[in-house]
Amino acid sequence: MPDSLSDSALMLRFQEDGDYDAFGELFSRHKDAFVAYLNHLSGSTAIAEDVSQHCWLKLIESVGEGRYRPVAGASFRSYLYTLGRNRYIDEYQRKHGESKRGSMPNLDDVEHPAEQPGDSAVASERKALLAEALAQLPLEQRDVIALWSAGVSIEHMVEITAAPRDTVLSRKKYAMAKLKNAFASLGVTSYDG
């Protein structure tokens, strides 16, 4: 499958020709970054996988019914991430988050990242600290940081969040400051393991 094909071209090949390999290429391009975004947004790998799977299946469903249409001026990635963001907010934030503190996840629910084989104790501690610091950000700021860490540009963040560019930039600025502050408060000034 040529790397040069756009995401939308791959989706149309999948829909029009039943080209499974086209979908496979598209899926491999986006799946890890997408679930990483949802993981940072939700603070839970289980929720991230659930939302991710739901969104991919919705896309496949639309192809099965011949309903997928590229939106002029909007990238496939923005479309996918918007689906994920909306699903997370509708399913988890609105339905289940009402009893929690504001728009923040309950820290007791935040999953600390599993220790990787090569991790030092310091690296593991910093990952856990980062997970907690992320969880304490307001949803809107956490959203922007999650998008940024998935490699989404500011322009696409504007599309996905439906917020003005300056608002997106401000959210990112304040979120970054809070994350750095969370590290600094524990005497951590370097993020290296």
Partner 1 sequence: MTDERDIDGDEKLMALLSEVSPGTSEAHDAAVLNAARRVAEQRRRSKRRGLPGWLVGLATALPAVALGLFVFTRFDAGDDLSGGNIRGQVSDVVPLDGGAVAGTPQLLRWTAVPGAERYRVTIRDDSALPRWSSEWQNDTEISLDAAGAPSLEPGLYLWTVEAVNGRQSELGPYTFRVEAR
User: Which residues contact partner 1 (rule: CB under 8 A)?
Assistant: 14-20, 23-24, 27, 31-32, 35-36, 39-40, 45, 48-50, 52-54, 56-58, 60-61, 63-67, 113-114, 116, 126-127, 130-131, 145, 148-149, 154, 166, 169-170, 172-173, 176, 179-180, 190-192
In angstroms, the Cα distances linking 86 to 52, 67, 78, 119, 143 are 11, 20, 12, 34, 11
Rg (the chain; Cα; Å)? 18
Q: Minimum Å distance from CB 39 to partner 1? A: 4
Q: Minimum Å distance from CB 160 to partner 1? A: 17
Query: Tokens at residue 180, please?
Result: 């750095």
Q: Minimum Å distance from CB 22 to partner 1? A: 9
In angstroms, the Cα distances linking 165 to 84, 158, 171, 172, 177 are 20, 6, 10, 11, 18
Query: Tokens at residue 63, please?
Result: 């192809």
Q: Minimum Å distance from CB 161 to partner 1? A: 15
Q: Minimum Å distance from CB 21 to partner 1? A: 9
Task: Report the C-alpha gap between 45 and 37 in whole angstroms.
Answer: 10
110: exposed, middle or buried (C-beta count within 10 Å: 0-12, 13-18, 19+)?
Answer: middle
Within 10 angstroms of residue 15's Cβ, the number of other Cβ atoms is: 20
